[in-house]
Amino acid sequence: MNTEELIKRDIKNIWHPFTQMKDYENEAPLIIDRGKGIYIWDTDGNRYMDAISSWWVNTLGHSHPRLNEAIKRQLDKIEHVLLAGFSHVPAIELAEKLVELTPEKLTKVFYSDNGSTAVEVALKMAYQYCQQMGKPQKNKFVALKNSYHGDTIGAVSVGGVDVYHKIYKPMLFDIFQAESPYCYRCPMGKNKESCDIECMGSVEEIFCKHHGEIAGIIVEPIVQAAGGMIIYPAEYLKRLRKLCDEYKVFLIDDEVAMAFGRTGKLFAFEHAQVVPDLVCLAKGITSGYLPLAVTMATDEIYRAFYDDYEKLKTFFHGHSFTGNPIAASVAVENLKILEEEQVIESLPPKIEALRSNLEKFRELDCVGDIRQAGMVGAIEVVKNKETKEPYRFEERIGHKIYKQALKRGAILRPLGSVIYFMPPYAITEEEIRQVVDIGVDSVKAALY
Ligand SMILES: *Cc1c(COP(=O)(O)O)cnc(C)c1O
């Protein structure tokens, strides 16, 4: 394969996501040929450790024999069929499994095909529920600063990352925005020792004043991922659940990035022992194989839509590839693997290896914060450790570190000045040591 030629053809016709295409004048995209476990290889045969699970989707590792087999089995039966008026075994099995694995209150599974749509569905369900239950004035949402819920307009409306979202403001619906539980840069000026989740006050204030207009609050559980792998205490979710009950506001739990073991539990909400009203799932649901998403709802929500057709309470929402049989069959197999091979139960030593290795960043005076939740580890690079002065985004410090890491054979795609490790669970403790060492060396090479 002629890599030069492939790059030319790529750039000629492909407009890449989250990419300033002009950058490709100097840095060509890597053309990936194959993958196995935590590694991917480019067309020149160079090997890279996929330390970000291919944008957080690939939980078990690339080219997993059981997942490959599941696709092949399903492919010879039916590749796709609509899910309105029709159903199929993989969709039925997956829904059963998800209902079994989640708390009793979550009884219904609505399929779509990506994380953004799972979020759109949850927002529309919460909204329509209020409309149909005689509370039409409850038509707004609360979201947090630094939140990311996807790139479609509804999902962007509840987003809180200015670089991605600000320009679209005139296109978006209005929301109430609460403070982000960003412990390193605490909006309340507290630190770990003095914190009593004071930032919850910002949610409470909004609920107190406006609960009559609020249908739901949407949050990323435990980790505000795209906002910079901002990790917050489970106690926050606990208190949020209480506030939601008190003010009759739906708790929408966007588990798109964190479900299926990423934080060390099957679902991140389990850390807080709370039950959300709506749960959004995507990314790791197929272990990164195929696009599939789910919005789980309670019976209470489902019931508000259940009536004679002419009452017009139907949830008129669906995508062409909703609940695709091949994707659903991979998801079913993924859940079987997690269970049968005790994948999540086997994570603690790896989580501990990540924790102890991340300590190596402590000595670098450009690393302001080290944070971790299960199989997510992150460091925040700063200009001044004392004042926490950040790098300006134009300095692209994360990108410089990323390029250094690529040279050393690891993919550490940054979020601004945050470098994170989010590898497939197939990674070994030794490989965790290797990739963190590459991280340390890359930070040094980029900054010193
Ligand atoms: C990635 C992500 C989404 C969007 O999912 P897509 O499949 O990219 O549309 C939504 N919410 C969270 C928390 C995410 O990390």
Which residue intervals of 14-157 are DSSP H helices? Answer: 53-56, 65-75, 89-101, 115-132, 153-157
Coil, strand or helix at 125: helix
Instruction: Find the mean pLDDT for residues 415-420.
Output: 97
Verify whether ligand 1 is closer than 6 Å to residue 254 (CB atom).
Answer: yes
Average pLDDT, the chain: 97
Measured distance CA(310)–CA(332) in Å, rounded: 36
Which residue intervals of 62-218 are DSSP H helices? Answer: 65-75, 89-101, 115-132, 153-157, 162-165, 200-210
Q: DSSP E strands: which ranges in 289-444? A: 293-298, 367-373, 376-384, 389-390, 418-421
At 198-224, the pLDDT tens digits run 999 999 999 999 999 999 999 999 999
Res. 192: pLDDT tops 90:
no
Verify whether ligand 1 is closer than 6 Å to residue 223 (CB atom).
Answer: no
> From the CB of residue 306, how many other CB atoms can be counted at a distance below 10 Å?
11
CATH of 31-60+345-447, one of 3.10.180.10, 3.40.1410.10, 3.90.1150.10, 3.40.50.2300: 3.90.1150.10
> In angstroms, what is the span from residue 226 Cα to ligand 1's centroid?
9
Atom of ligand 1 nearest to the CA of 282: 7
**Confidence (pTM):** 0.98
> From the CB of residue 319, how many other CB atoms can be counted at a distance below 10 Å?
17
Verify whether ligand 1 is closer than 6 Å to residue 257 (CB atom).
Answer: yes
DSSP 8-state secondary structure symbol assigned to residue 410: B
Q: Where are the domains of the chain?
A: 31-60+345-447, 69-340
Coil, strand or helix at 60: coil
At 360-413, the pLDDT tens digits run 999 999 999 999 999 999 999 999 999 999 999 899 999 999 999 999 999 999
Percent of the chain with pLDDT over 90: 98
Query: pLDDT at position 184, please?
Result: 97
Verify whether ligand 1 is closer than 6 Å to residue 282 (CB atom).
Answer: yes
What is 69-340's CATH number? Answer: 3.40.640.10
Given pLDDT bands bounded at 50, 70 and 90, which one contains residue 448? confident
